[in-house]
């Protein structure tokens, strides 16, 4: 098992019941993990719903260019995820511009 996967899952589980302050802390902690968190976050983004999904998407945007390759791979493997991946890539490129 990927060493980063367990903490990422723990963070995502905490998001479901967290208040806004804790959600902000978790988002910042995930961003600080950076590119090592990207595979787990992209995989999770295809499963999670609601506010958690929005936070995961924002984390990937904030991590930036390190997210793009994995988003492209996930979109290629899952056509239902393609529009989400393309949207996030567009957002990442817009932030980087």
Q: Which residues of 49-78 are buried (b: 16+ CB within 10 A; e: fewer)?
A: eeebbebbbebbbbbbeebbebbeebbeee
Put simply, whether the predicted model's pTM sits higher than 0.85 gets the answer yes
**Cα(44)–Cα(9) distance, integer angstroms:** 8
pLDDT in tens, 74-92: 999 999 999 999 999 999 9
Closest-CA residue to 76 (of 88, 64, 85, 65): 85
Closest-CA residue to 26 (of 14, 37, 36, 35): 14
DSSP conformational letter for 81: G
pLDDT in tens, 31-44: 999 999 999 999 99
pLDDT in tens, 4-51: 555 888 999 998 889 999 999 999 999 999 999 999 999 999 999 999
């Amino acid at each position: 098992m990927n060493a980063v996967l367990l903490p990422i899952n723990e963070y995502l589980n905490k998001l479901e019941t967290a208040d806004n302050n804790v959600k902000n802390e978790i988002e910042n902690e995930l961003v600080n993990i950076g590119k090592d968190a990207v595979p787990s976050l992209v995989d999770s983004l295809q499963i999670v719903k609601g506010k958690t999904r929005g936070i995961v998407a924002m984390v990937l945007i904030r991590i930036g260019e390190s997210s793009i390759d994995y988003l492209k791979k996930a979109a290629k493997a899952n056509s239902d995820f393609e529009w989400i991946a393309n949207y996030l890539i567009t957002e990442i490129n817009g932030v980087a511009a």
